[in-house]
C-alpha cells in the first residue's frame, strides 16, 4: 500500500520535517512511524504460525537474494510493504484459503523484488533534491502527487503480475488471485491503488499473454 505517498505532504505542511532533513530521511521516518503504529500479533496466536508457514513456502519457491522481514499484525490493514524490505501481513489472512493468502504475500514480495520503494524515492528526490521545507515542496506538490499516484498504480499492477507468475510456478491457478480480490471486497480507484476491476482485467491480460507464450512453446 502507498498511504505514505499522500500523507507525506500533510506531514510537511504540519511542520514535521526536521530542519535540514532531506526527502530520503523524511520518507524513512514516515515509514518507521507507520511501522511502529502496527500492533504485532502474539506469537501464541495460532494464526501467526499459519501466515508464517505460507510465507516460508513462498520464500522457498522464489529464493530471494535480499533479506526480507515478515511482521504479522492485527488491525485494519491486510498487507503492506514498508522500507522496501518489511512485509506487514494481517493475522486474519490465516482464515483465507492458502492460494489466496499466498497471492497477497507474493504481491507484497513483488514490491520488494522489484525495488518499488527505491523507485518511488527516486521520484521524490527528483522533485525535492534538497531540504524538505514548504518553499521546496509547495511548488511541486500538485505535479509530484500526480506522478507519485501514477507510479503507485504501475507498481500495484506490477506486483499483481509478479504474484500471478509466482503462483503459476507453484502450481496455483488464476482462481486464487481472483479469490483474493473478491475476499478483500471490490474496491474503487484510490490515489494509490487501481480499483479491483482494473486489477482483475490486468491479470486476465497477463493470463492470456502467458497462455499465448506457452502455446508458442516459449
* Alpha carbon distance 114, 50 (integer Å): 26
What average pLDDT score do residues 167-182 get? 94
Which ranges of the chain would DSSP assign to H, the alpha helix?
Answer: 3-13, 23-37, 46-62, 98-113, 116-127, 134-137, 141-169, 174-184, 196-215
Judge contact between 157 and 189, C-beta under 8 A. no
Closest CA to 3 of 141, 162, 120: 120
What average pLDDT score do residues 169-186 get? 93
pTM for the model stands at 0.91
pLDDT in tens, 195-216: 999 999 999 998 888 888 888 8
End-to-end CA distance of the chain: 34
Closest CA to 78 of 67, 69, 89: 89
pLDDT in tens, 127-144: 999 888 888 888 998 899
Amino acid at each position: 500500500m502507498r498511504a505514505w505517498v499522500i500523507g507525506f505532504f500533510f506531514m510537511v505542511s504540519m511542520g514535521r520535517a526536521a530542519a535540514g532533513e532531506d526527502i530520503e530521511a523524511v520518507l524513512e521516518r514516515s515509514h518507521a512511524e507507520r511501522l511502529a503504529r502496527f500492533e504485532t500479533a502474539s506469537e501464541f496466536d495460532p494464526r501467526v504460525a499459519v501466515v508464517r508457514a505460507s510465507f516460508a513456502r513462498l520464500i522457498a519457491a522464489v529464493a530471494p537474494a535480499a533479506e526480507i522481514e515478515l511482521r504479522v499484525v492485527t488491525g485494519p490493514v491486510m498487507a503492506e510493504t514498508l522500507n522496501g524490505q518489511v512485509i506487514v501481513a494481517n493475522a486474519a489472512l490465516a482464515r483465507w484459503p492458502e492460494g489466496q493468502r499466498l497471492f497477497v504475500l507474493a504481491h507484497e514480495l513483488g514490491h520488494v523484488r522489484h525495488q518499488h520503494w527505491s523507485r518511488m524515492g527516486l521520484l521524490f528526490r527528483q522533485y525535492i533534491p534538497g531540504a524538505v521545507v514548504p518553499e521546496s515542496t509547495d511548488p511541486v506538490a500538485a505535479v509530484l502527487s500526480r506522478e507519485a499516484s501514477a507510479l503507485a498504480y504501475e507498481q500495484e499492477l506490477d506486483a499483481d503480475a509478479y504474484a500471478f507468475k509466482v503462483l503459476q510456478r507453484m502450481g496455483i491457478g488464476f482462481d486464487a488471485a481472483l479469490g483474493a480480490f473478491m475476499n478483500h471486497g471490490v474496491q474503487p480507484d484510490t490515489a494509490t491503488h487501481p480499483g479491483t476491476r482494473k486489477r482483475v482485467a490486468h491479470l486476465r491480460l497477463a493470463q492470456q499473454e502467458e497462455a499465448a507464450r506457452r502455446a508458442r512453446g516459449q
